């Protein structure tokens, strides 16, 4: 077991964990349903020992954790690392858990953007994984999009996170589609309805008025209730894609690198294409592990 370690991406709703050997090979992996939003106060340490370590047979190996586990709802409150920030900055700011001497937590990021202060936890590790994936990612300026409950749009310059902007499109979609006037039964995604929603987003302005248009179209018989969720999804993602990259003050010709789960990256790539923006997609879980592996190597070299 010498040289093995445990990588854990502990988010709001779920946990992904990998037991890794000293050569970077994944020996075992598992997922768990107890994200920090589902933990009782002070329960994180118990879940880590009794569930994650036990399931992956990793009771005596060092562990590196990232995500919301470092928030005030997680195991310990880990201070944010200020932007601009490099992978080395994050590696130098790892937080050692007092009760578990072999457990470190990756800090999140804090920045100032055109709207004020913004924060991120978990995404920084995927960004590190992306930066270290190719030498070209460490040079020049790049725009990244990490879609999810709270989507992040990130400007990376010369291998450092310069700033980012958050959109709560995913959370807003869940609330509106289940607990509002726009609620509708779940149905398979309708690409034509999704595309119509993107087109209806315009330049992303007047979103509150455009949202009521979802209800109006159904009431007027212009759209069926079965297509309502797909249209709403397209409208929210379209408004996000139309407006947020400008807040980063990035080049309008920049390729957008999308990091996340395939279903979401596919939808965002489609929306970006409607705005004539080229994109490249990456698996978020793969990059999270790559980022944790990079940081673990920095710990081991100390």
H-state helical runs in the chain: 44-47, 54-55, 87-91, 123-131, 169-179, 191-200, 207-219, 228-247, 262-274, 284-300
**Domain final residue pick, 62, 77, 92:** 77
Give a yes or no: residue 2 inside a domain: yes
CA 113 – CA 141 distance, rounded (Å): 16
Domain assignment of residue 13, given as a range = 1-77
Which one, of 88, 249, 73, lies nearest residue 153 by Cα?
249
From first to last of the 302 residues of the chain, give the pLDDT tens digit: 468 999 999 999 999 999 999 888 999 999 999 999 999 988 999 999 999 999 999 988 999 999 999 999 999 999 999 999 999 999 999 999 987 778 999 999 999 998 999 999 999 999 999 999 999 999 999 999 999 999 999 999 999 999 999 999 999 999 999 999 999 889 999 999 999 999 999 999 999 999 999 999 999 999 999 999 999 999 999 999 999 888 888 776 789 999 999 999 999 999 999 999 999 999 999 999 999 999 999 876 65
Give a yes or no: residue 13 inside a domain: yes
Give a yes or no: residue 67 inside a domain: yes
**Alpha-carbon dihedral angle through residues 283, 287, 289, 295, given to the nearest 10 degrees:** -170
CA 217 – CA 32 distance, rounded (Å): 40
Give a yes or no: residue 235 inside a domain: yes
CB atoms within 10 A of CB 202: 15
CA 300 – CA 302 distance, rounded (Å): 6
CA 70 – CA 76 distance, rounded (Å): 5
């Amino acid at each position: 077991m010498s040289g093995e370690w445990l990588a854990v991406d502990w988010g709001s709703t779920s946990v992904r964990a990998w037991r890794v050997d000293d050569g970077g090979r994944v020996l075992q992996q598992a997922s768990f349903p107890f994200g920090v939003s589902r933990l009782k106060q002070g329960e994180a340490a118990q879940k880590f020992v009794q569930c994650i370590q036990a399931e992956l047979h990793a009771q005596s190996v060092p562990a590196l954790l990232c995500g919301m586990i470092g928030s005030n709802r997680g195991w310990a409150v880990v201070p944010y690392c200020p932007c601009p920030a490099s992978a080395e900055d994050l590696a130098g700011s790892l937080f050692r858990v007092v009760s578990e001497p072999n457990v470190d937590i990756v800090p999140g990021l804090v920045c100032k953007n055109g709207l004020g202060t913004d924060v991120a936890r978990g995404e920084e590790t995927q960004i590190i994984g992306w930066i270290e994936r190719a030498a070209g990612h460490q040079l020049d300026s790049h725009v990244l999009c990490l879609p999810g409950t709270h989507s992040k749009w990130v400007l990376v310059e010369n291998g450092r996170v310069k700033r980012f902007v958050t959109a709560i499109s995913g959370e807003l979609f869940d609330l509106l589609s289940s607990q509002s006037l726009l609620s509708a039964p779940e149905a398979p995604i309708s690409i034509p309805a999704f595309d119509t929603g993107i087109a209806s987003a315009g330049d992303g302005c007047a979103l509150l008025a455009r949202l009521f248009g979802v209800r109006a179209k159904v009431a007027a018989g212009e759209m069926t209730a079965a297509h309502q969720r797909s249209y709403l999804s397209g409208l929210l993602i379209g408004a996000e894609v139309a407006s947020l990259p400008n807040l980063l003050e990035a080049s309008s010709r920049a390729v957008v690198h999308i990091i996340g789960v395939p279903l979401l990256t596919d939808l965002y790539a489609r929306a970006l294409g409607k705005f004539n923006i080229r994109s490249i997609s990456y698996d978020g879980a793969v990059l999270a592990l790559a980022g944790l592996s990079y940081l673990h190597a920095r710990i081991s070299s100390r």
